[in-house]
Structure 1
Amino acid sequence: MYLSKKVLTSSLVLTSLLGVSMLTAPVKASAMTTQASTQITAFEQQTGVLRTDGIAGNLSAVYSDSDGATIVRWLPGGQDYRYDQVVHNGFTGLTYYRIATNEWIDSSNVQLIN
């Protein structure tokens, strides 16, 4: 009786594992493209001055790169900053300005001064 329970348990486990693997369709690496990679980002070497929106109580997010995923710090409103690169992100539809190395601010939070 013990042997049959062990065999039955083993066969159930094996069946469940095979069932799960059969439900999952294999995906070719060439078919695995992300939407972000298909929306090419355009970099421009452009310089100017921008002003963060709002009054001193408002804050504008500064991101670690031009995809707007990671906030590294906040800037007060009404402050001027020089930028040296512009990125048009096709995925988000926003334009980002580089105000320091690895620090970008999006166009929705600034006014261009010159």
Structure 2
Amino acid sequence: MALAEDGKQIEANALLATTKPGIPILVKGLPDRSVDYLIIQDGPQIAEYAISPICTHLGCTVEWDLEKNHFICPCHGSQYDSQGRVVRGPAKRSLPLITVVVKQNQIRLVDRKPAVDPR
């Protein structure tokens, strides 16, 4: 299940009531990774994918920069848009995606690529 930074479970309805589309939301939810980013789409609705913050250049952890509206890699300066697509190298590939399932007001992260990459 998707958890907030404080470790509390995130309910889909509450999240959608307090977020804006286009701003990735930091969540915990997979045991082998510390964090991932949920994507809120117009509607609002939770996208069927989340972004793993592992830079495709050398594996550093990127962070969302609200001012620049990009994910920024602190190691070598790669930048990615709100969907994880490269906008500035040295990275050449988009950030990895994982599957998101919303069911009974619960958000679950599934450690596999979505069937279709929406980018």
TM beyond 0.5: no
Give the TM-score range, shorter chain. Answer: under 0.3
Tell me which protein shows more strand as a share of its residues: 1
Tell me which protein shows more helix as a share of its residues: 1
Q: TM-score, normalised by structure 1?
A: 0.23
Query: Which is bigger in relative contact order (C-alpha 8 A, separation at least 6)?
Result: 1
